[in-house]
Amino acid sequence: MKIAHKILTVISAVILFTACGNNETSNTSVAANTTENIKVWGNCEMCKKTIEGSLKVKGVAKADWNVDTKIMNVSFDSTQINLDQIEKNIASVGYDNEKYSGDINAYKNLPECCQYERKK
């Protein structure tokens, strides 16, 4: 009888934790996912690495900068980060975008091939 009681207790606990876990999962899957395209000035594959690297932060799921079009395609969870912060992160590593000028000191420290013609 004691064994049957222990088994029933374990099964009940598993069901309870599974049910709670499913509710939590469904809440996190409801988080807002956004994809935006923004213009980011730069020149080369080294720029791409630095620009995309500036977005390896919590909330950014994907960052892909196109060397030819100068367009950054970024997917992010808008409950964790917003587009303004994304643009600031890019500017902080020396790259101009439509909203912010790249940090001048970071720009000066970029390799020569990455020092693009500034638009601002």
Q: What pLDDT, on the 0 to 100 scale, is given for residue 73?
A: 97
CA distance linking residue 78 with residue 48, whole number of Å:
23
Q: What pLDDT, on the 0 to 100 scale, is given for residue 119?
A: 72
Q: What pLDDT, on the 0 to 100 scale, is given for residue 7?
A: 52
Q: What pLDDT, on the 0 to 100 scale, is given for residue 118?
A: 87
- Note the residue count of the chain: 120
Residue 64 CB coordination number (10 Å):
14
pLDDT along the chain (120 residues), means of 10: 52 43 34 87 97 97 97 96 98 97 96 88
The end-to-end CA distance of the chain, in Å, is: 80
Residue 51 CB coordination number (10 Å):
26
Residue 65 CB coordination number (10 Å):
24
